[in-house]
Structure 1
């Protein structure tokens, strides 16, 4: 029946089924829905039958999340083929002679950022597709794809192997744009160009917002449109997330979707056989449309205005020697010493003060609050770290908007230390995105759009720093990760502390091909015990035997220990300025006097060099 599906869509509207997982979860599912293909096939078959009895012309196999990566969370990654084979057999057993069966494949790249490479995604998807086609499905349904690149590549790879109907559905959190800023209408055309026969949207939106979206979508010349809305927006009822009981309303909006050109209509999250029944009954007298007037999208983002900002650190450090100093906010509310140190750094004309974001997963005063006070009362520029550990995608975006409103444009995006290393090891980690994902969000903000594609009405001016650890065992791997960070949009880099002149030279040789500035980290050692801690307990940092011996020799003399620390740092700074313009001084234990002395030394040698050139 493979080609019969497309033949049927030429002159007819087909009704698809609704959610499988919604029903299984309501019945007490305690694993992934796809596992039931093996453990409870009779339950899956019963749900298929109820959808067909409700009026579904098309059903999909219970394989949406049956890929290697998702099944791995349930210890079922070795059952990928078995689950797909069982799913098709169950669907065939439930189907009538007129029922079309779609083999369903879900996207890998969702709202949370995945590190899986595109080649790995294509490999795992090919196994799913091969198995579904071998078992005799009538078509393939690629659904809930947030990432356009992923979907188009999968379709192209599938089309190169098989001549089978392909239904491909993107998922958008905005009614006009995908997460990458692509217009939905344009994105669907790319999906068609990749080889899809039916294109559309599913998930995230209920019927109302889906109808709004489809009012902007043109009728394709060489494909048909599909739509599988959610039942509604999620609601919290008695501590449980539920969808609205709105099947009759769902059916009425289905009429509007048909009048927007949809030929294949079903349901996604929260929908039930009752929803499908109302769709079937409400559209039974409708016929496909062949012409429509598309509502144009207002070009709201084109009107975004850019906020003004002074010279950023990237420009400064490319132009000449630049010094930034890290100063942790306090763990308590006695901030007098902290702001006294800020004043001293300001008086010393340090280019920026970097404010960590609960580093080492230890609770400190909000660096945004500190940055706000600094912006209001001092001339020094705050460079605010943002960790992905503590905030979800909602919080991160709100955080960025707040920083922009405060005029804080210098940010460092970091994935963050896991909470188990800090003083609250039971706290939950979020990690909706990593540092690269957060950078991509900030770059979108610089274009005047949030991740939903909504206009910010002004563009942000974030200048984005990334972290670089040169103390790793294999520097080649670190450089490859660095290059990926550059691709994500990071503008300059700040390194972990370095304690070897040879290491500074090595970093220069390894990074000189990259057109981005570096601030090399220097952190004074405050005692022999501090040296032992850094050497033995901080990952990646190793001090030479000579340095350890020198600190041990003066361990009982505070003044000599300080002199030695300054002497070693000055030697390192000399080497930094041979190769780099950027110096990053990390203040240990609020000892701003150390950072100030080293900053003064750095300024003296760089100004002397400049005078010599002149």
Structure 2
């Protein structure tokens, strides 16, 4: 009779299998691998058999993504039970009498954290876990979890669902530290405390860097340590991924893994039966490590940096009136008119000047470059917009570091208009991160930690504004989204332009329990064509019929600008009754209108203050 796996791990090092997807991919199969459990069962069985023949003591079911959330990408979310049951049957048929079969459940959020609620993830997890357990797996393998919050929650669920052994694997971008900055040693200790029987790491790192990460890990008190490294860094040739690692390399590192206390050693992406056999041969004559001297790892020091953070711009809207002005950088290299406008806006008394990040998906001079020049030449603070559209995760982090070095610490984080509406509709919209994830990343930088969890050496000092759209049918839903952004770290909000006085009042009522300041957007119209374009073609903007009619009645350019200015003043009157922050959006470079509106706000505020002082004096007499 086969002994329980935990009893075996007390006596010897066990070998796990390698990648399922890598072998299937090498056979020319590039589709939903979990569906193959029912359509190509023999191919899946052959992979299991190859690993068993290579010496694997523990094999895992072909169920990494066999949950409703991931299967929904293929329209197969109703097939969870069928795919998981078939996977267990196939793995058992390939196993020998002494082979352990574990049901694999992969992380859902992955390296690029998706906007999925943990409640949704745990429901999907429970459905899959129940199916695997009912079909008789020897235990559960939770693998490739970059998001530690997710792993923590599913492990709690798993432990309540079964007494069978559970393997819990985190994944790292940087050796020794998780994406949230948690040291690997602390993470594994917590997983052990939550009931995992085997704790370790898999994916992303090859043997060299995974050994580095394990050098600072003490032997668990109750659980056992495991490691499933990648085969190598992948090469990309002719549209396909290739992994190249010599078996001798893995045989050598098997000894190193043993010397770090690993009791279960397998492989992840890029590994094949060749590497698993090398691991088996490498530890063939070795006994498990009983005691370990932990290598001291360097403490991550987050320096304060040279400069101290300035007073946040939005604080002016907490206790008094504040006016921000959006004035976008030019689409060409002639900057004289732009800087003349900056000077006029500054002299009119605006509290900050903001610049979009290639608004309407059309290229403009970098707002970071112009923001730096404004900081050097003027006294008005610059606030730069940052979209999710134009930069991948690498570029965003590089850009943030550059902004910090330039001293541009005030940001407005937005999703960004899709490229198809801009000058280059064939360009790629990146969207590696959502706006909420980007807010979280900026706040992570403020803790001195990069996306991968690596130290930045000193923290950044960013203050983050988030966008709010008042022009939606369901205002309550927009406010809920606003609150989620605040939970992600948004310090304050800037709205898209509002063109309806009633809607401004409704927004005030709907956001009454939001503590973060809101700057309400006001955009002066310049013509009827401008109004119709905004209403019909710009995402997130709707104009009331009466506003469009008033603009249509104007018979000249001068009348159009005058009508647009008067409408803006009326909207400002209402906005000032409800909000302390006003966000003026300069239309088509017409900064003279913006200057007039700034002066209007300043004069109106002066009169309101004088009236309040008179009322106060009267009440005291």
> What range describes the TM-score normalised by the shorter chain of this pair?
over 0.9
CA distance in 1, matches of 2:565, 2:302: 53
Matched residue, 1:569: 568
Matched residue, 2:580: 581
CA distance in 2, matches of 1:539, 1:268: 43
The answer to whether 1:160 aligns with 2:153 is no
Matched residue, 1:484: 484
Mapping for residues 139-154 of structure 1, pairs under 5 Å: 139-154=139-154
Matched residue, 2:193: 193
Contact 1:31 1:74 in 2 (8 A): no
Give the deviation of 1:607 after TM superposition: 3.1
SS class of match (2:74): coil
Give the deviation of 1:2 after TM superposition: 9.3
Contact 2:413 2:466 in 1 (8 A): yes
Give the deviation of 1:113 after TM superposition: 2.6
Give the deviation of 1:74 after TM superposition: 2.6
Matched residue, 2:388: 388
SS class of match (1:526): coil
CA distance in 1, matches of 2:302, 2:366: 34
Give the deviation of 1:85 after TM superposition: 1.4
Matched residue, 1:112: 112
Scaled by the length of structure 2, the TM-score of the pair is 0.95
Question: Structure 2 vs 1, CA of residues 388 and 128 (structure 1 numbering), >3 Å: closer, same or farther?
Answer: same
SS class of match (1:225): strand
Mapping for residues 52-71 of structure 1, pairs under 5 Å: 52-71=52-71
List gaps (5 residues or longer) in structure 2.
Answer: 614-621
CA distance in 2, matches of 1:243, 1:301: 35
CA distance in 2, matches of 1:45, 1:573: 70
Matched residue, 2:293: 293
After superposition, what is the alpha-carbon deviation per residue over 1:21-76, rounded to whole angstroms, capped at 9, x for unaligned?
Answer: 11111111131222222222111111111111111111111111222222222333
Question: Structure 2 vs 1, CA of residues 513 and 19 (structure 1 numbering), >3 Å: closer, same or farther?
Answer: same
The answer to whether 1:421 aligns with 2:427 is no
Matched residue, 1:397: 397
Give the deviation of 1:301 after TM superposition: 3.2
After superposition, what is the alpha-carbon deviation per residue over 1:203-261, rounded to whole angstroms, capped at 9, x for unaligned?
Answer: 01011111111111121112111110001223345664322323211221121121111
Contact 2:111 2:147 in 1 (8 A): no
Matched residue, 2:504: 504
Question: Structure 2 vs 1, CA of residues 282 and 542 (structure 1 numbering), >3 Å: closer, same or farther?
Answer: closer
After superposition, what is the alpha-carbon deviation per residue over 1:309-346, rounded to whole angstroms, capped at 9, x for unaligned?
Answer: 32221222223211111112222222322222122223
Contact 2:302 2:458 in 1 (8 A): no
Matched residue, 1:30: 30
CA distance in 1, matches of 2:540, 2:405: 37
SS class of match (2:588): helix
SS class of match (1:547): helix
Mapping for residues 462-477 of structure 1, pairs under 5 Å: 462-477=462-477
Mapping for residues 80-479 of structure 1, pairs under 5 Å: 80-237=80-237, 240-305=240-305, 307-479=307-479
Give the deviation of 1:423 after TM superposition: 2.6
Give the deviation of 1:201 after TM superposition: 0.4
Give the deviation of 1:304 after TM superposition: 4.4
Q: Which is further off, 406-415 or 351-360?
A: 351-360
SS class of match (1:264): strand
Contact 2:499 2:547 in 1 (8 A): no
List gaps (5 residues or longer) in structure 1.
Answer: none
Question: Structure 2 vs 1, CA of residues 392 and 372 (structure 1 numbering), >3 Å: closer, same or farther?
Answer: same
CA distance in 1, matches of 2:212, 2:145: 20
Give the deviation of 1:611 after TM superposition: 4.6
Superposition RMSD on alpha carbons, in Å? 1.9
CA distance in 2, matches of 1:307, 1:135: 60
Question: Structure 2 vs 1, CA of residues 3 and 212 (structure 1 numbering), >3 Å: closer, same or farther?
Answer: same
SS class of match (2:4): helix
